[in-house]
């Protein structure tokens, strides 16, 4: 894919980035950063460079928390699936044993 220049606005500043990502995706992501910057900026004030850095750190922190939650969820789902498969295996073995017992009678 070709790299192209895309204009993004964050914290009232325009940024020109070169990327192979779609403009829609980058605009959506920039809007998320801009919203976090607005959340951290006092009303009526222009955001400082440090505010944009804090916004990036806050978003990175949110990402780490979501990844940790996902890992916990994945472990729970794997454990649940193992237990379900064990119950299915036990039920199948029980049915097989009953069928063999019925045949030998």
Residue with tokens 């192979």: 20
Whether 9 shows a pLDDT value over 90: the answer reads yes
Task: Please state whether 91 falls in left (phi above 0), alpha (psi between -120 and 50) or beta.
Answer: alpha
User: Which residue range(s) make up the domain with 47?
Assistant: 4-104
- Count the domains in the chain: 1
Q: What percent of the chain has pLDDT over 90?
A: 77
Each residue's pLDDT tens digit, 78-91: 999 999 999 999 99
Contact at 8 Å (CB) between 15 and 32? no
Helices 49-104 and 23-40: crossing angle in degrees, nearest 10, is 120
Residues with Cβ within 8 Å of 14's Cβ and at least 6 positions away in sequence, in order, are: 7, 8
For 69, list phi and psi in degrees, rounded to 5: -60, -40
Each residue's pLDDT tens digit, 43-59: 889 898 899 999 999 99
The pLDDT assigned to 105 comes to: 64
Contact at 8 Å (CB) between 15 and 29? no
Alpha helices in the chain (DSSP H): 23-40, 49-104
């Amino acid at each position: 894919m070709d790299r192209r220049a895309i204009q993004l606005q964050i914290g009232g500043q325009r940024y020109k980035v070169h990327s192979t990502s779609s403009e829609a995706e980058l605009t959506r992501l920039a809007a998320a950063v801009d919203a976090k910057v607005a959340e951290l900026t006092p009303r009526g004030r222009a955001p400082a460079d440090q505010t944009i850095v804090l916004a990036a750190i806050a978003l990175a922190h949110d990402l780490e928390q979501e990844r940790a939650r996902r890992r916990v969820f994945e472990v729970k789902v794997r454990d649940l699936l193992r237990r379900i498969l064990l119950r299915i295996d036990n039920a199948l073995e029980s049915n097989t044993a009953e069928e063999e017992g019925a045949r030998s009678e």
